[in-house]
Structure formats: structure tokens, C-alpha cells
Amino acid sequence: MHRLALWPVALAVALLPVGAVAQGAVADPALRAKADALVAILDGRGAYDAYFAASFREKVPKAQFSAIVEQLKATLGVPQKIESLTATSAWSADLVVGYARGTASVRLVIDPAAPHAATGLLITGTGARDDTLAKVEAEFRALPGASGFGLYALGAGNPAPILEYRADVAAPLGSAFKLWVLAELARQVAAGERHWEDVVKVGAPSLPSGVLQTWPAGSPVTVQTLATMMISISDNTATDTLLTTLGRAKVDAMAEAAGGNVPVMTTREMFVLKGDPALTKAWAAGSVDERRALLVDNAVKVATAKLDPTVFAGKPVAIDSIEWFASPSAMAGLLDRLRGTDVTTRAVMAVNAGVDPAIAKRFGYVGFKGGGEPGVLTLNYLLQAKDGRWYAATGNWHRTDDGVNEVRFAGLMGRALALLAAR
């Protein structure tokens, strides 16, 4: 996750990538010993410097790790034991860590060389014991700030609510607005106006998340590549390139049809607007037409501005005005629209499942797009059960006074999905 951009919310906490999975692997005894020692580390009692390799500590400072550990304990209680270990290689495993009030799914990688320091750790999800949808709703209601949630059955008509909380209230989406762009691309492909293999040049770089901002200017890519990077790793430069290629007016029309706000900013425009107090004030006070005019009048400034990666400084910035907005029920309708698109669109959405793999495996299909910035978090899932039934799950949490607890929120959504899979 990138805290200085519209980072993709894919897993609860990505502390360090852990690599590929080898089927039928057998854990080395050192891996099992390291897994057992993880309980004390997650309780804040273990020796952080001795447990983790220098390569890990450089990327995840102790203060950052301790904050995540405390978030987990606040949600689940005290860690108690390793409930299961499934080796993915001799030196890596998927773990289920038992806590007083639930479990955490963890991927662990250690150095094959003694003393076998941990080089990778990935917290992929959390779950509560004896869980119910009523408990999930109660915890949504207890979140500080504002939140909303919707779980829907999808069929021939409109999405049918299974559980809703403030589902008709529009909320900031962060990068989840990119589903509007994907839906418009899918519409143009279906209409024969565009083809997945069409080649375009990469446009002006935005801030990360993503990688295209580092590519040579004007690099040729297909629109399918742009869409895949936009959804799977929330690449902001890919998003802006695709949005301008499709046409702002057409993306606006799709956003309005999907219950969203207009005009739809590019991510680069958003960063410039939030970094300029005068533009921030003008945007907040402007009507739709005035905001469109503001973007046109400042097009040169947007195109030439040197973007400031510290624009957020870890704090919410104008999330009640310079954002993309839609309600949970509107997002469910958008997910239902995407369900009816072609196989390529659904495949793009499925590259990053955005949930604990153990939960994802309980469905036949999981399409995902999340988003956020400091103070904003939203997760959106299109799901097909193994019996063929389709569902949408969408949730949001935002607060103007502080950041949001990513682990807590991802855990709530993961629990909702696990309960849905059990229906």
C-alpha cells in the first residue's frame, strides 16, 4: 500500500512480498520453530531485531511493525498459538495464528541460512470466532468517523440486499473510482468503438501507486494492459492514460449512470487540486459546471506541475470535497453491471482478489477493486459462489480527523465474505 497516493487495498497488511507457492512442500524444522516464535513477536514480547532479517527491518521499521501488531491485538485480542502451518516451500508457509477473539492468516518466509531470520511476512486476513453478519454490522456501526456497507445477491433484477448499513449514503472511494473507467472501457469494447488490443501511448505521469510513472514517456501499451494495471495494482498513470483515451465526457456519463459524482478527475488532477489551497477552495465551492471549467482553465498547470509526494503527509486532505463519491448500493449496481460484461473485463478484475486466499478459494470467482488515501478506505468485491450464484460486497470507512485502521477494516470485509461463502 502506498500512503502518498491512491494505493490499492489488496491484502490486510503487506509487510513484505513472500514469493510463489510450491505445491506439496515440506517445512524445514527451522521454519516450524520460527513460526512458533512468531506468537511472541505478534504479542509485542519477542525480539524484533533478532527475529527479522536486516532486509526486512529496513523496509518495515520496528515502529511501523509495532503499530500493526497493536492494530491486530485491538481487533482480535492476545495472540495465543499457531493453529495451522501449511508449507509452501521448505522455507515458507501459510499460517493461521490463533488469537483470543479470532484468527489471523499469515504468510512467513525465512532465510535458509542459519540463524534463519524472517525475510518476509504477509498478513492476508483476519477472522472472528463464532461470527455472524449481525456481529459484522455491529462493528461497522462502531467504527469512528463514518462508514457504510452492503452485501447483495445479484440476479436478473436489481441487486437484492442481504445486509445494509448506510448503504444509500455516498462516500469517498479513493481508487475504487477506477471501476467507472473499466466499465466505460468495457462498454466501448462491446460497442465496437474500441478493442482490447488497441495500442496507445502512456500519458503524463502521476504519483504512485503503480509503475507506469517510471516508464519512458510515450511508451506504447494496449488498453488491456492499461486496464489490468489500473485494477490489479491501482496504477495511477495507467488510469489517467485510459481515462483520457476513452474521453472524459464518456467516463462522466458512465459515472453518473453508476450513481457517482462528476466531473471525474484524473489522479494527477486530484494531486494538483489537493496541493493548491486556492484550487482546493474553488473546487469545494464549485458547481459541476464550475468544476469542469476549473479543470479546463488549469489544464496547463495540471500538465506541467511538479507533483508533491508529501501532499497528504499522512493526514486526511479535503476528503469531503476533492474525491470520487458513490454509495454502497450504487457500487453494488456498478459491480452488477461489470458482471454482465465480457470475459476479459471480469478477468482483469480477478487478477488481484483483494482478500485472504483461504477465503478466495471458497468462491468460484472473485473480482476486486479497493481504494483509499489517508482517512479513506473502501473495498469492493464481485463474487460468484461455487454453486453459480453471484454476489456483491462493498464497504467504506472515512474520517476527516485521522487515518483509518486498515487491518481492522480489511478484517471486517474478510469476515463478511467468509460468512457469505458459508451461506
Q: What is the pLDDT of residue 5?
A: 30
Q: What is the pLDDT of residue 13?
A: 37
Q: Say how many CA atoms lie within 13 Å of 153 toward its Cβ.
A: 7
Q: What is the pLDDT of residue 24?
A: 64
pTM, two decimals, is 0.82
When pLDDT is averaged across residues 190-214 and rounded to a whole number, the result is: 97
What Cα–Cα distance (Å) separates residue 100 from each residue in 77, 84, 182, 287?
Answer: 5, 16, 41, 51
When pLDDT is averaged across residues 135-146 and rounded to a whole number, the result is: 95
Among 125-129, 160-164, 168-172, 316-320, the range scoring the smallest mean pLDDT is 125-129
With vertex at residue 413, the alpha carbon angle to CA 66 and CA 184, rounded to the nearest 5 degrees, is 115
Buried b vs exposed e over 224-260: b needs ≥16 C-beta within 10 Å? bbbbbbbbbbbbbbbbbbbbebbebebbbbbbebbbb
Rounded to whole angstroms, the Cα distance separating 314 from 373 reads 9
Q: Is 395 within 8 Å of 406 (Cβ atoms)?
A: no
For residue 92, which phi and psi values (nearest 5 degrees)? -145, 150
DSSP helix/strand/coil, 369? strand
Question: How distant is the alpha carbon of residue 171 from its chain centre?
Answer: 16
Q: Say how many CA atoms lie within 13 Å of 312 toward its Cβ.
A: 24
Q: Decide which of 3.30.230, 3.10.450, 2.60.40, 1.10.1060 is the CATH code for 29-128.
A: 3.10.450
Look-up of cell digits 490499492 = 8
**How many other CB atoms are found less than 10 A from the CB of residue 190?**
13
What is the chain's mean pLDDT, rounded? 92
For the stretch 335-355, pLDDT in tens is: 999 999 999 999 999 999 998
Does the pLDDT at position 7 exceed 70? Answer: no
Paired strand residues for 151: 163, 393
Q: Decide which of 3.40.605.10, 3.10.20.30, 3.40.710.10, 1.10.150.20 is the CATH code for 133-422.
A: 3.40.710.10
Report the run of H or E that residue 330 belongs to, with start and end. Answer: helix 328-339
DSSP symbol at 177: G
Q: What residue spans define the domains of the chain? A: 29-128, 133-422
